[in-house]
Amino acid sequence: MNHPQGKTAALLALTGALSMVGAQAGTFPDYGFAPPKSSYPSPFFRLSQNYPAVAPGPSSMPAFFKQLPANFSNDFETWRTYMNEVKKYCLEGNTEVAWDVQKNKVRQWYHMPWQHYGPNGREAIHGLTKEAPIQPKQLASTQTGNGQTYAVGIYNDIGAYTIGQVWKDPQNPDPSYTSQPKGFPNGTVVCKALFADIDINTVPSLVNPVLWSAYTAKDFYSTKRAITKVALIQMDIAVRDTRVKETGWLFGTFQYNGAMTGKSGWDNLVPVGIMWGNDPKENGNAFTNPTPTETKINPALKQTAINANTKELPPTHLGWNGRLNGPVDNPQASCLSCHMTAEYQQLAPMNPTFQPNPPPVGSDEWMKWFQNIPAGQPFSPGTRSTDYSLQLSGALANFYDWKCNHSGIYADGKNACTNVKSLNLMKASDAPEQEVFKVQRSPDLEELQ
């Protein structure tokens, strides 16, 4: 995305990107936006990028795999133990070091490269990227102001091995490693912590908050940044499990409820639910609930299980017609429906509403975004799948935007990609003629000024 930015931020982003010219394998910029050291004297974020060169063995399989229910039910209580164990796996050793994952003494975690780039790129304090706007009353009926979401995702060693293979040559990433017959290996775990800059006094569940300092934009549409406090609002998890028949993935979400323990802490993350499919035959709209005063659970959904315990789960909007989504996510989508569009080149928008003339809700065209696609299969014909990883599809888009469009136009009018014959730029050569979409969570991302 080409948008004007503040001079300092632009220089930092460009400097980070230019360092890639002479990069060796595994050398990627840490962040794109940094405050003056005088205003933040502590150490800056470092990208965990020492990806395993050898695929982790069976001993690396997460212990919580043993907790997978024998029968997949939409009764969340059959999933509670599994979700609790995944949460423990994600947080263990990380909360003590404020998610400086390279200091984790329990297990190693890794970041996706090339998320420093562009107007939403990583900031330097905690490595957070700007994710999406927050609309009034999206989080609570008392929340009247706008806000924005920032997030950082981490991959376990099993998933990081594949990241390392894709980016083994930093100048020539290879997305074939995440496309069938390959893909993220069984046992891959992704954990993503999301923070909101919302006025916490207007959201009852954000009492006793977990607050991080971050170098954030003034508002979602601004390029001016300052050090602010952001509150933990959500944690997402994704697990690659070959026992999941139709998609090969499990996606889950936790929501922060500071009333649970009466004190600040990551233990206040309570499960919203888990999903393993998009229920492609269910096309109703009665349970869509963008400004919730209650959590509407759709009993017709058989591939989503939502926590029905209202004493721990605050009222939340969920996804389209009750499918799983978190409080800062799109109520017209679902965890799986967004992530299954992850591909390069990104020919498809992440949601049917992210286009000029959206199809009718529940129509056959609409339901293309709520089908079940196997792991490693691209959403659009002729592309390469990034196997449910929007971080990877976004990283590839960022890299090639910089490489092809911002590394110089030559005298013959061609850019770097067309001049470097040896560059194996992945192109969707047999894809149908259609618009190539930038990776995005919302059309609002295209409206930065």
Considering the domain boundaries, does residue 30 fall inside one? yes
According to the model, what pLDDT value does residue 415 have? 73
Residue segments in the chain with a per-residue pLDDT below the cut of 70: 1-26, 408-411, 413, 419-449
- pLDDT tens, 321-355? 999 999 999 999 999 999 999 999 999 999 999 99
Considering the domain boundaries, does residue 354 fall inside one? no
Q: Which two tokens stand for residue 250?
A: 């499990």
Count of structural domains within the chain:
1
Q: Omega of the bond prior to 345 within 30 degrees of 0, cis?
A: yes
| C-alpha span between 195 and 234 (Å, rounded) | 7
Structural domain including 24 reads 7-339
Considering the domain boundaries, does residue 439 fall inside one? no
Give, in order, the Cα–Cα distances in Å from 441 to each of 121, 218, 330, 375.
Answer: 14, 19, 8, 21
Considering the domain boundaries, does residue 345 fall inside one? no
Considering the domain boundaries, does residue 368 fall inside one? no
CB-CB contact of 140 with 200 (8 Å):
no
Considering the domain boundaries, does residue 383 fall inside one? no
| C-alpha span between 446 and 139 (Å, rounded) | 23
Q: Which of 160, 305, 320, 149 is nearest to 235 (CA)?
A: 149
pTM for the predicted model, two decimal places: 0.89
Considering the domain boundaries, does residue 320 fall inside one? yes
Considering the domain boundaries, does residue 306 fall inside one? yes
**Residue type at position 289:** N
Tokens 């990627």, residue? 28
| Dihedral angle over CA of 95, 137, 274, 376, nearest 10 | -90
